[in-house]
């Protein structure tokens, strides 16, 4: 589904991603975990066309998409839920969802999002800025789902949310995966993400430090001690 090979991302002289390779099989849920500044967002921003990598190759469904712009990737079914949610606070919830389907005008997809998140349906005419942090995260995920992604990339969807809301976000992610969509999840909440994932990659200083089936990483003392806390 997705194959990233030798990805390098630089910002001026800062080498944020230094030769990262990973794969996601169709229908799988993989996670990239790591500390602040490890390069997680840089990796998925390069995959989803938000930034341009210095070098490396990105294949999506066998097609070379390296350096494709984000809007072209969205139309192909590769959609990112960005870090910090990025909902447009002065637009209504409905308008935010319409933006997710700008290229298709798919109103049935918006109805499906309302079925999944009744709280958004009830408040559809309110400005998105009036929603709580958790509701804004649901809106950000809903906006991505309107594009009917085959691959969805989520950048720290649980950030700053109360534990109960984090549970909701994780159950939505599991539902998305159960519906057949491939998921790439980035999290600082590494233990939680690895419990949800099939396969995990631990990123440290722009490189993959460990990788493997998520259950094996959770059982690996080196990984637990260095990255998951005691
Ligand atoms: N626009 C930018 N200009 C310069 N340096 C940047 C820029 N964006 C990121 N960096 C640097 O690149 C490195 C990787 O950052 P990145 O945001 O990819 O990490 P991250 O793992 O997503 O961190 P976080 O968990 O804090 O979101 C960091 O050293 C960061 O300071
Ligand atoms: Mg980040």
174-227 residue pLDDT tens: 999 999 999 999 998 899 999 999 999 999 999 999 999 999 999 998 888 888
User: In this predicted structure, what is the pLDDT of residue 105?
Assistant: 81
Residue with tokens 């994780």: 170
pLDDT, averaged across the chain:
94
Question: What average pLDDT does the segment 43-63 reach?
Answer: 97
Q: Is 31 in the pocket of ligand 1 (CB under 6 A)?
A: no
Pick the closest to residue 2 from 35, 18, 26, 33 (CA basis).
26
Q: How many domains does the chain have?
A: 1
Q: What distance in Å separates the CA atoms of residue 9 and residue 42, rounded to the nearest whole number? A: 7
Question: What average pLDDT does the segment 83-91 reach?
Answer: 91
CATH of the domain at 44: 3.40.50.300
Minimum CA distance residue for ligand 1 atom 14: 39
Show Cβ contacts of residue 191 under 8 Å, excluding neighbours closer than 6 positions. Answer: 218, 228, 229
Give the number of the ligand closest to the Cα of residue 190: 1
Q: What distance in Å separates the CA atoms of residue 201 and residue 213, rounded to the nearest whole number? A: 9
Give the number of the ligand closest to the Cα of residue 50: 1
Q: Which atom of ligand 1 is nearest to the CA of 203?
A: 21
User: In this predicted structure, what is the pLDDT of residue 229?
Assistant: 67
Pick the closest to residue 93 from 64, 67, 122 (CA basis).
122
Domain residues for the domain of 183 are 2-228
Q: Is 46 in the pocket of ligand 1 (CB under 6 A)?
A: no
Cα Rg of the chain (Å, integer): 17
How many residues are present in the chain? 230
Q: Tell me, in angstroms, the distance from the centre of ligand 1 to residue 119's CA.
A: 33
Question: What average pLDDT does the segment 84-99 reach?
Answer: 93
Q: Which atom of ligand 1 is nearest to the CA of 12?
A: 4
Question: What average pLDDT does the segment 110-120 reach?
Answer: 95
Give the number of the ligand closest to the Cα of residue 51: 1
User: In this predicted structure, what is the pLDDT of residue 223?
Assistant: 87
């Amino acid at each position: 589904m997705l194959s990233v090979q030798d990805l390098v991302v630089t910002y001026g002289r800062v080498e944020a991603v230094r030769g990262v390779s990973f794969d996601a099989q169709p229908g799988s849920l993989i996670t990239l975990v790591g500390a602040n500044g490890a390069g997680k967002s840089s990796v998925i921003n390069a995959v989803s066309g938000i930034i341009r990598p210095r070098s490396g190759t990105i294949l999506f469904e066998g097609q070379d998409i390296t350096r494709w712009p984000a809007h072209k990737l969205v139309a192909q079914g590769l959609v990112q839920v960005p870090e910090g949610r990025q909902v447009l606070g002065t637009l209504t919830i409905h308008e935010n969802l319409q933006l997710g389907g700008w290229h298709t005008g798919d109103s049935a997809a918006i109805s499906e999002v309302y079925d999944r998140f009744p709280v958004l349906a009830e408040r559809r005419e309110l400005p998105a800025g009036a929603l709580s942090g958790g509701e804004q995260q649901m809106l950000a995920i809903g906006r991505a789902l309107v594009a009917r992604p085959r691959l969805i990339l989520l950048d720290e969807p649980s950030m700053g949310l109360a534990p109960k809301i984090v549970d909701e976000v994780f159950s939505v992610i599991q539902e998305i995966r159960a519906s057949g969509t491939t998921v790439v999840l980035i999290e600082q909440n590494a233990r939680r993400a690895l419990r949800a994932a099939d396969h995990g990659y631990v990123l440290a200083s722009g490189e993959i430090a460990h990788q493997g089936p998520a259950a094996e990483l959770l059982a690996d003392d080196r990984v637990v001690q260095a990255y998951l806390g005691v």
